[in-house]
């Protein structure tokens, strides 16, 4: 019997994502001027106010309020009528020095001995149902909001859009787990005031279905385009009016969208958030490394989908476990336990090795803080940073290194494929 599966996404203007982006911009600025910085930054945003907190061990100093304001303006909160605006909001910084009790377990005699920044388990997932090896429902949810943000910034077709938005996509799968059609699309977008609520709702639904959906479809492969049909159930701004939004409508906190950030409910999640954390925090770095393993395994043809789990003890370099689950989709004559052992020998999962392999001690994190950390396109960019204390700096960095398919040949060799 066929079944339905749903994933959601939120826009860069969603209050929780505003908080994530501020936290990751602070992290990038610390790493730009001190690559060895230990950072755990949390952000709270609400009506007219930003609160920054966290622990940092660093040799540099950054102007955190300025960075927060620039992030807010870049997202699109630039008008007083939003009741949250980059130039006028208050910013309180409560960032302080990292606990020495934690630091002594992380910094060791040599970089290779670096201990995990915390205990816990992390997961990486990949599936061959999309070109970027991501679950389709989440991939489409992200695409809807990325394109909506492009339309908002263009200011040509849907001129009433404001930054806050959410999407949700439900896919119908066959008994064999193959996507057959899109069942439901939910999209709520913040908007300017209208004279009449009824006309407003009709206009927004007309524009989303008639403008946004075709633009999203145009960028999709033919096999995914075929999943769109005339029977899709659309729920566009189903609560009605959505003028009050962003941090004025709902308080935002760093780390509250961990399922949006990862696999949309597919696979599993260890519970640890990403944004604001430097790569010594295995919540972030090991989750990236597990995704890197999973994606390369599926791309190499080991299996159709896979979940990779890794776990750590605080202050200990070697993981306490590595486990692989192929959901009975393996293409090789080995069970999951045997596959796990080969993967453990192929990938060094000590924190320092992950940092080096994926080049994580660089200011690469602000780009991850909206529209998902996984399934993105690896690329090299030059980023510019300015500090009243350390001057200007330009750094060439690789983004989304954990999405590179650079271990496919090694995996094929290891599994005799």
| 3-state secondary structure (DSSP) of residue 47 | coil
Using alpha carbons only, what angle is made at residue 416 by residues 305 and 375, rounded to the nearest 5 degrees? 30
CA atoms 251, 256, 261, 263: torsion sign: negative
**Is the Cα dihedral 266, 296, 278, 32 positive or negative?**
negative
Q: Are strands 305-312 and 120-127 parallel, antiparallel or unpaired?
A: antiparallel
250 is in an annotated binding site: yes
Annotated binding residue at 277?
yes
Instruction: State yes or no: 373 annotated in a binding site.
Output: no
- DSSP E strand stretches across 98-230: 120-127, 161-173, 179-191
Counting runs of H as helices and runs of E as strands, what totals does the chain give? 13, 13
- List the structure tokens of 337: 């336990």
- Token duo for residue 403: 């999405």
| 63 is known to lie in a ligand binding site | no
- DSSP 3-state of 305: strand
Q: Which helix or strand (DSSP H or E) is residue 384 part of?
A: strand 379-387
CA gap 156, 133 in Å, rounded:
33
**Residue with tokens 């959601």, as numbered in its chain:** 8
334 is in an annotated binding site: no
Distance CA(266)–CA(141), nearest Å, equals 14
Answer yes or no: is 241 a known binding residue: yes
Is residue 356 marked as binding?
Answer: no
256 is known to lie in a ligand binding site? yes
203 is in an annotated binding site: no
Check: CB of residue 102 under 8 Å from CB of residue 116.
Answer: no
**Residue 406 assigned as binding residue:** no
Strands 49-57 and 38-46: antiparallel
Tell me if 298 sits within 8 A of 128, measured CB to CB: yes
Is 235 annotated to bind a ligand? Reply is no
Is 55 labelled as part of a ligand binding site? yes
222 marked ligand binding residue: no
Cα dihedral 317, 320, 326, 332, rounded to 10, equals 80
User: Is 165 among the annotated ligand-binding positions?
Assistant: yes
160-193 as b/e: b if 16+ CB within 10 A: bbbbbbbbbbbbebeeeeebebbbebbbbbbbee
CA angle 43, 48, 50 (to 5 degrees): 15
Total number of residues shown for the chain: 417
166: annotated binding-site residue?
Answer: yes
Residue numbering of the annotated binding site: 14, 16, 42, 55, 98, 164-166, 241-242, 250, 256-257, 273, 277, 281
Q: Residues marked as binding for L-methionine? A: 55, 98, 250, 281
Which residue ranges make up the annotated binding site for Mg(2+)?
Answer: 16
The binding site for K(+) comprises 42
Task: Please enumerate, by residue number, every residue annotated as part of a binding site for ATP.
Answer: 14, 164-166, 241-242, 250, 256-257, 273, 277
């Amino acid at each position: 019997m066929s079944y339905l599966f749903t994933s959601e996404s939120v826009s860069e203007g969603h209050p929780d994502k505003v908080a994530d982006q501020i936290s990751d911009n602070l992290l990038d600025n610390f790493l730009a001027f001190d690559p060895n910085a230990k950072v755990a930054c949390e952000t709270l945003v609400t009506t007219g106010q930003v609160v920054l907190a966290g622990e940092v061990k660093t040799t540099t100093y950054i102007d955190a309020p300025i960075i927060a304001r620039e992030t807010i303006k870049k997202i699109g909160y630039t008008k007083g009528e939003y009741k949250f605006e980059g130039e006028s909001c208050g910013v309180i910084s409560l960032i302080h020095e990292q606990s020495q009790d934690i630091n002594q377990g992380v910094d060791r005699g040599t970089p290779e001995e670096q201990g995990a920044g915390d205990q816990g388990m992390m997961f990486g997932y990949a599936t061959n149902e999309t070109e970027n090896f991501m679950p389709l429902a989440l991939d489409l949810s992200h695409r809807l909001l990325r394109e909506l943000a492009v339309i908002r910034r263009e200011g040509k077709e849907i001129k009433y859009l404001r930054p806050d938005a959410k999407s949700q996509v439900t896919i119908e799968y066959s008994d064999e787990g193959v996507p057959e059609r899109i069942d439901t699309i939910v999209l709520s977008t913040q908007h300017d005031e209208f004279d009449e609520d009824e006309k407003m709702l009709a206009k927004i639904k007309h524009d989303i279905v008639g403008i946004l959906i075709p633009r999203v479809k145009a960028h999709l492969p033919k096999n995914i385009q075929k999943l769109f049909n005339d029977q899709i159930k659309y729920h566009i701004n189903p609560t009605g009016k959505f003028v009050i939004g962003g941090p004025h409508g709902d308080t935002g906190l760093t780390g509250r969208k961990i399922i949006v950030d990862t696999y949309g409910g597919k696979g599993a999640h260890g519970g640890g958030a990403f944004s604001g954390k430097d790569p010594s925090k295995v919540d972030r770095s090991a989750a990236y490394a597990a995704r890197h393993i999973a994606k390369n395994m599926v791309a190499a043809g080991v299996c159709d989908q896979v979940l990779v789990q890794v776990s750590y003890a605080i202050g200990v370099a070697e993981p306490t476990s590595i486990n692989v689950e192929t959901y009975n989709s393996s293409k090789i004559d080995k069970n999951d336990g045997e596959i796990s052992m080969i993967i453990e020998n192929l990938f060094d999962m000590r924190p320092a090795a992950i940092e080096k392999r994926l080049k994580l001690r660089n200011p690469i994190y602000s780009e991850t803080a909206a529209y998902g950390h996984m399934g993105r396109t690896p690329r090299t960019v030059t980023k510019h940073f300015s500090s009243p204390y350390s001057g200007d700096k330009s750094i060439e960095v690789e983004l989304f290194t954990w999405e590179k398919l650079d271990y496919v040949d090694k995996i094929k060799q290891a599994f005799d494929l």
